[in-house]
Amino acid sequence: MAQDNILDLAARRSGVDLSPCAACPVRGLSICGVLDDEQIRRLSDITSEVTLAPGQALFYEQDAAEHLYVIKTGCARVYKLLADGRRMVTGFLFTSDLVGLAEAGIYAYSCEAVTGLALCRFPRAKLQTMFEQYPHMERRMLEIATNELAAAQDQMVLLGRKTAQEKLASFLYLLMLRIERHSGKGGSITVPMSRGDIADHLGLTTESVSRCFTQFRKIGLIKLDTAHSVTVLDRAKLTEMTGSEDDGFEPHSAAL
Amino acid sequence: MAQDNILDLAARRSGVDLSPCAACPVRGLSICGVLDDEQIRRLSDITSEVTLAPGQALFYEQDAAEHLYVIKTGCARVYKLLADGRRMVTGFLFTSDLVGLAEAGIYAYSCEAVTGLALCRFPRAKLQTMFEQYPHMERRMLEIATNELAAAQDQMVLLGRKTAQEKLASFLYLLMLRIERHSGKGGSITVPMSRGDIADHLGLTTESVSRCFTQFRKIGLIKLDTAHSVTVLDRAKLTEMTGSEDDGFEPHSAAL
DNA sequence: CGGGAAGTTGAAGAGCGTCAAAAGTAGTGG
DNA sequence: CCACTACTTTTGACGCTCTTCAACTTCCCG
């Protein structure tokens, strides 16, 4: 986050034309990726930045969906609640992920910061106007939605048909891929969310998740530097333990 | 299906201009809903009709995604397999539902006919060309994808956090709403898919699904005319048993 | 009718949840 | 800087829901 502020500062100092977006680390990903300089400038006119402290909510289920967000840095959780308080975390979001797709102008889920969070906020109405001028933005949105749909289907397979071990293995595997894609390949992966968050994402309890972590450590699959820093020691075995395709097929990227 | 053929026949007889789509029962729903007469005519030029017998596959996971389909009549199941054969039915599709959204030109799931099936088939490439001319078609696609995403999230809540009873209650509830929306309100609901299909959709076993049906019958919640024809006797109780919002909130419609 | 698939029912077992307590970690103020 | 508190994580014992395995019944289609 500190780095982003420096970049923003640099952008503003270098002249009026260089919009905050131009120096954005997310530029090239998400919806911004399909825009040229002129279009980015127009986008940045309707953009504002939002930051959240860990635990703070971006919005709640049933809120009017007035904005679309792109995550610049940090990790967020998206979840839904049942009447009696049971929680399902439908996904974790990271840098360049889109938040706020909604039908009928109402968010169907809540979103909270896991770590400190920096986001770009776009008013839906103004974005809609831009879409009319730049249809390829809407096409990009459809691509993103299609990706998320594929990821959602993978998650359904996980929830409905995998064992606790396979669930955690799949989760760690995706987290690892994600880290490697953004930062370069390398050692330990950071697990920003709590055991409870992970449990509510995998359809398990905190205790079961913790037990699986311990088991993975005991069989030499991972090393637990701290509860939130994991090193994968046997990558092949982890892949195998996900229970997914025998071959090394590509999993879907979006929304973890 | 017999009825559709009659409609098509009527359309063809009445003149060259009246395309098959114009008389389609699905017209007004799905992607076709946002098109005017001229646009429908252009769409029908690239449309072909496909019919499948029960159990036949429309396509398999990993196939090249060359077509997009809209279901005219019947019921289809969409599923994914794990390496060892475990199956997850991610959704059931009915009249007016869209099949074939895919990223990277590859289907991420398989689709099979549950009942006899009639579909409209659109070649992706040609549809893409139409999108460039009619951006509102793409907008409609985004709407549909957003809907399906919301439905997928509801399904994740079901799979990860609901009991067997709540799962079946939710399933029957959605099936009931769906029937009431398409045909008028009324008595018994048809459950075209097998217990095994339902089980693989709810993350349960055939036996568990069967036991829940029996239990629902014994407590006077439903009447089982046959295994595939259910009458809901206590609608309020069914709603309550879904475990979802206390209030009578709208569930998401797409992809069951 | 008859044979095979689909559905139902029962008994036993496993995996994960629940409850409880201990150990580790982090944040706060003296 | 350390102690105190509160929370998160881990570990253990036990129980329950759903699965597994098996037998029986019903339905459907030739």
Beta-ladder partners of A68: A122
Residue B39 to residues A23, A133, B152, B166, Cα–Cα distance (Å): 42, 21, 31, 44
Cα(A197)–Cα(B117) distance, integer angstroms: 42
A80 at interface of B, judged by CB pairs closer than 8 A:
yes
* A175-204 confidence digits (pLDDT tens): 999 988 877 677 789 999 999 999 999 999
Residue A199 exposure: Cα atoms within 13 Å on the Cβ side: 15
Chain B contact set for A155 (CB, 8 A): 156
CB-based contacts of B72, cutoff 8 Å, min separation 6: B4, B24, B25, B26, B49, B95, B118, B119, B120
Contact at CB, B252 and A132, closer than 8 angstroms: no
The string of pLDDT tens digits covering residues A217-249 is 999 999 999 999 999 999 999 999 999 966 545
Alpha-carbon distances of B48 from A84, A222, B4, B37, B116, rounded to whole Å: 48, 53, 14, 18, 17
Is pLDDT larger for residue B4 or for residue A234?
A234
Q: What angle do CA A104, B98, B153 make, to 5 degrees?
A: 50
Collapsing DSSP to helix, strand or coil, A221 comes out as: coil
Is residue A57 helix, strand or coil? strand
> Of B116, B134, B107, B115, nearest to B46 (Cα)?
B134
Please indicate whether, in this complex, the C-beta atoms of B143 and A101 are within 8 angstroms of each other: no
CA dihedral B165, B170, B176, B178 (to 10 degrees): -150
pLDDT of residue A40: 86
Q: Of A143, A145, A157, which is closest to B82 when you measure between CB atoms?
A: A157
Q: What is the pLDDT of residue A19?
A: 64
Question: Do the Cβ atoms of B155 and A156 come within 8 Å?
Answer: yes
Condensed to tens digits (0 to 9), the pLDDT of residues A109-133 reads 999 999 999 999 999 999 999 999 9
Q: Which residue has the higher pLDDT, A7 or A217?
A: A217
Strand D nucleotides below 7 A of a protein CB? Answer: 8-13, 17-22, 27-28
Q: Are strands B87-93 and B57-59 parallel, antiparallel or unpaired?
A: unpaired
More confident residue, A54 or A187: A54
Q: Do A103 and B146 touch (CB under 8 A)?
A: yes
Distance A2 CA to D2 C1' (A): 31
Nearest to A243 among B82, B101, B245 (CB): B82
The answer to whether A227 CB is within 7 Å of strand C is: yes
**B215 CB and strand C closer than 7 A:** no
